[in-house]
Amino acid sequence: MVKRWQHVWRLLALTIVTALTLTGCGDPTLSALIPSGPVAEEQLTLIKLSLFIMVGVIAVVMFIFAYVIIRYRQKPGQTGIPEQVEGNTKLEIIWTVIPIILLFILAVPTVMTTFTLAKDYSEEEGAVNVKVTAHQFWWEFEYPDLGVATAQDLYIPTGKKIMFQLTSKDVVHSFWVPSLGGKTDTVPGLVNKMWLQADKEGVYQGKCAELCGASHALMDFRVVAVSPEEFDSWVEKMKAGPAEPTTATAQEGQQLFQQNCLSCHAVGGQGGKLGPNLTAFGDRQKLAGILENNPEVLKQWIANPAQFKEGNLMPSFEGTLSKEQIDALAEYLSGLKIR
């Protein structure tokens, strides 16, 4: 009997630990267990519901299991043959019917939420439409109704539904902001839809969740949730573009940018779309999604991007530009701020 109680205690302790880890685990800007919007909350509710049902099932199985392997182990000197039981219809019906009931309890909210999360809010008043295009290994964001485009840092207003249209320029990626909600794949040739909403202001981490090449692990982005007023002013400033550079070095940097970078990168509505839009580059939370955004790192990046992100398309400028030129370019880019 003593041994059996030990098992029960162990099980109880395990459940408590599990519950504790579930309520406060991970980085609050990254963890699906710390939701910051209604989508992630609904999903966490379903995760918890299914988890609790399943922990119940595991507990029953473990209890019988522990009892059986302790009670019915062969004792020294034990002989004879145990009764050869064919089965037990009553028991077998019980463990067929109870799981069906449990699954039914799980299936009803599952189906309901599946449809809730698939709603299309693109025409709804107040919703913000965002077109997401994934590239190896960065994210392009366009606001088709607002006439603004950016990359890597996605600005959204809090409390509003953000309706995403997701696609990809090259391979399949998957757009995931765990603390705001689950992921949706970005598939070349298709446009998928999904909505998210942030209730609290803050910066949330986004990830690419589908293997997309050598730097799949580094394809991070940020979602910056700001108040609706701040968002509106951000949009206005984005439309106006960043202020012209004032220092001589930065002006030289601007010239160099126009000669060398504009075919791929856009600033303030001008330039190509092969690389990330750099309009508000100085405001970026991170450089290339993963690095600290300061001029020193930026210089190293420009000199040799591949050392940070293997397989990205940007060429190395080490041989093309002199050290002074790279310095100027970095100063210009770091000054591209609108906030």
* Nearest CB to other proteins, comparing residues 216 and 273: 216
* Nearest CB to other proteins, comparing residues 310 and 324: 310
**Ranges within 220-259 binding other proteins (CB under 8 A):** 220
Tokens, residue 220 = 């991070």
Binding of residue 21 to other proteins (CB under 8 A): yes
Binding of residue 20 to other proteins (CB under 8 A): no
Binding of residue 46 to other proteins (CB under 8 A): yes
Tokens, residue 95 = 């463990």
Given 2, 86, 123, 229, the residue binding other proteins (CB under 8 A): 86
Burial class (CB in 10 A: 0-12, 13-18, 19+), 284: buried
Tokens, residue 80 = 């004879």
Given 77, 78, 125, 246, the residue binding other proteins (CB under 8 A): 78
- Please report how close the Cβ of residue 82 comes to other proteins at its closest, in angstroms: 5
Beta strand pairing call for 181-186 and 128-135: unpaired
* Nearest CB to other proteins, comparing residues 137 and 257: 137
Binding of residue 77 to other proteins (CB under 8 A): no
- Residue count, binding to other proteins (CB under 8 A): 91
Binding of residue 283 to other proteins (CB under 8 A): no
- Which window, 2-10, 37-45, 124-132, 331-339, contacts other proteins (CB under 8 A)? 37-45
Element (H, E) at 224: strand 221-226
327-337 burial, b if ≥16 CB within 10 A, otherwise e?
bbbbbbbbbbe
Binding of residue 294 to other proteins (CB under 8 A): no
- Which window, 112-120, 228-236, 244-252, 296-304, contacts other proteins (CB under 8 A)? 112-120
- Please report how close the Cβ of residue 140 comes to other proteins at its closest, in angstroms: 17
Report phi then psi at 52, rounded to 5: -65, -40
Q: What angle do CA 267, 232, 182 make, to 5 degrees?
A: 85
- Please report how close the Cβ of residue 3 comes to other proteins at its closest, in angstroms: 15
Q: Which of 197, 263, 147, 224 is nearest to 39 (CA)?
A: 197
Given 107, 203, 243, 274, the residue binding other proteins (CB under 8 A): 107
- Please report how close the Cβ of residue 12 comes to other proteins at its closest, in angstroms: 16
Given 27, 244, 292, 318, the residue binding other proteins (CB under 8 A): 27
- Which window, 153-161, 207-215, 263-271, 325-333, contacts other proteins (CB under 8 A)? 207-215
- Please report how close the Cβ of residue 180 comes to other proteins at its closest, in angstroms: 11
Binding of residue 5 to other proteins (CB under 8 A): no
14-44 burial, b if ≥16 CB within 10 A, otherwise e?
eeeeeeeeeeeeeebbbbbbbbbbbbbebbb
How many Cβ atoms are within 10 Å of 206's Cβ, its own excluded?
Answer: 25
Q: How far apart are CA 125 and CA 282, in angstroms?
A: 32
The answer to whether 249 touches 333, Cβ cutoff 8 Å, is no
